[in-house]
Structures are given as structure tokens and as C-alpha cells.
Chains A and B, each alone.
Chain A
Amino acid sequence: MSTGLVFAHAGAVLFVLGLAGGLVLGHLLRRILALNVMGSGAFLVLVGLAQSDGQPDPVPQAMVLTGIVVAVAATALALGLARAFHARTGRTRLDGGEE
């Protein structure tokens, strides 16, 4: 199995792990971690699968660079919201219905 395929498989599992975590975890910080793991998994599949023949492909590599910057922007906003929410309510989780 080529390096690309090994990491594409790992990426698939990471994606599912992060997705499940994003759905079931309660603490906001953990959810944010899970969403980052999910994104990293998708990035690994993007590059790994494209490079399954062992040759580097600059196109998905550039896409992942873009994706990493977008991910850090989203993470920063999520953390900012979580902190503002915590500062007002003292809570760190969203569960328990709306209102």
C-alpha cells in the first residue's frame, strides 16, 4: 500500500471519529477539537487519495493549505463564541433544549 493510501485510510477513520465526536460530545471545547479532527481527516483523504500512486500532486496540497487557514479562522470564531457564551451563562455545553 502506498504512503498516500495509508494516510487516506487513516483520514477516513479520523473523519468519522471527528464527526461522531462533533455530534455526541457535550463540552464545547471538545466539540471544537472534534470538528478539527474531522477536518484533518478530510484533508488527509484529499491529498492521500490523489497521491495513491506515490507522486506528489500540488493541486490538492494547495487546497489543503487553503483549508487549514479556513479551519483556524473557524476555530478562532468558535472559541470566541464559546468564551462569550461561558462569560454570560457560566455554562460550557449547549445541550438541554433551546430557550
Chain B
Amino acid sequence: MRGAARLLVATLGLALAAALTRAIGELPAERPSQAVDLRPQVVAHLDQTGVSHPVTAVLLDYRGYDTLLEVAVLALALIALLVLAGARDARLCAPAGSPLLVSLARGLVPVVVLTGGYLLWAGAHRPGGAFQAAAVLAAGAVLLQLAGLMPAWASPGRWLRLGLMLGFGVFLGVAYGLLGRGALLDYPPQWAGALILLIETGLTLSLGLTLAGLFLFLTERRGRP
């Protein structure tokens, strides 16, 4: 039974792979002449977006609404994990960090914050931005937790919850605030750069906490009371 199912999946898989390969192979030659090319449009409106890096412009302006929902996905995953962590009843106690870890954390955290800040600032002009910066900050938060310098995450207090939602809240607030101009997220060109920086700063903080939370909720600190 199981062998037959595998054979079926393998056969269908080979057929699908062949079809996909053929479709991809013949596309460039057969691309219809009316096909849209968004690249010139992205460049043409770049000066109205307040950022000079095209990917950041797509991410936070042209398709900023995707990013808003994506931040919601992350927040939701964190909440679902919080439910599971509660159900598992394994409290994430703040471990007493070893002295070496504590001094390492104290030394590294300023570097981490600086690197995150740089990536955030750089995102407007070149590769980088809130998500990459947040990943770096998350590493710092995990380090702090392992060193016992962060409060326990098992039942996050109100301030931590506020921090987790701050970036999303700012993003949502800006999106809704601009509705007065006629549409969600419709940045006025002269304020676009500043508003995007505001959103990205909030996101960096909250996503950093969220990514750290994904890690900390999932991983049990074994072998400690």
C-alpha cells in the first residue's frame, strides 16, 4: 500500500517536473508581446517613494500592504507558539547565565545594536532594511536571554507585549492615517521617506523581539529548574 503510494507520487512528480521544465524552457521565447514589464515603472516613480533602493520601494511603498500582512503573519505565529508554550506548561525560566556568557553578552550587545541600526539605515539606499536588521537584533535578544539578562518570556508582561506589537501598530496607524489622502498607505511624496523610516524603525524593534520570541518560545531551556 505504502509502496504503491510512493510509486504513484514518484510518477506524478516526474511528470510534473517534466511539465514545469518544459513550460519554463519555452516561456522566454514565447513570452506574449503584451506582457507587462514593471521594472521601468518601479524606476519611474522611485522619486515619489522617498527611498532610492528599488527593493525597499516595492517592499514598503508599491506593495507595502503585502508587508503589513506579512508582519501580521509573524505576530500570529508568535501568539500561536505562546499558546503552545502555555499548554506545554514548561516555563521558560530565566537561566542564571555563566559569568563568561554575561560578559560576552554585555560586550556584544552594543555591537549588535549598532549593526542592526546600520542595516536599518542602509535599507533606504542599498541592500538591507528592517527585516535584516531585526534578524541581527533577534540574535542579540537571544544572547541576552541565554545570559539571563532578559526577563523570562513564558508569560510576557504588558511591556514586552507592547514591544512585540509596536511595529505592527505603527505600520497600521500610518496606513490608516494616510487614508485621508484617498487610499491606505498613500504616502505624500515629501513625507514618504520619513514615514518609511518611522515604520522601519518600529518594525526593526518589534520584529527583532518577535524573531527572538519564535526562538525562545520554541526552545526549552533544558536541565535547569
Contacts and interface: CB of A to CB of B under 8 A. Distances in A.
Contacts, number: 105
Contact of B59 (A8, A17, A62, A74): A62
Given A57-B38, A79-B218, A83-B218, A73 B77 contact: yes
A13 B18 CA distance: 9
Interface range on chain B: under 10, 10 to 19, 20 to 34, or 35 or more?
A: 35 or more
B73 A73 contact: yes
Contacts of B131: 65, 69
B218 to A, nearest CB: 6
Interface string B4-28: 0110011001101100110011011
Given A19-B13, A70-B70, A74-B77, A8 B214 contact: no
Interface string B78-105: 0011001101100000000000000000
A64 to B, nearest CB: 10
Given A20-B9, A70-B73, A13 B39 contact: no
A49 interface: yes
Nearest to B15: A16
A45 interface: yes
A5 B67 CA distance: 27
A77 to B, nearest CB: 5
B88 A87 contact: yes
26 contacts: A12-B20, A13-B21, A16-B14, A16-B17, A16-B20, A20-B13, A24-B6, A45-B20, A45-B24, A52-B27, A52-B28, A57-B38, A58-B57, A59-B62, A62-B55, A66-B63, A69-B70, A70-B70, A73-B73, A77-B77, A77-B81, A80-B81, A80-B85, A80-B217, A81-B84, A83-B218
Question: What 10 pairs across the A-B complex have the smallest Cβ distances?
Answer: A73-B77, A62-B58, A58-B54, A12-B20, A16-B17, A20-B13, A76-B214, A62-B59, A52-B28, A58-B55
Interface of B: 5-6, 9-10, 13-14, 16-17, 20-21, 24-25, 27-28, 38-39, 42, 54-55, 57-59, 62-63, 66-67, 70, 73-74, 76-77, 80-81, 84-85, 87-88, 131, 211, 214, 217-218
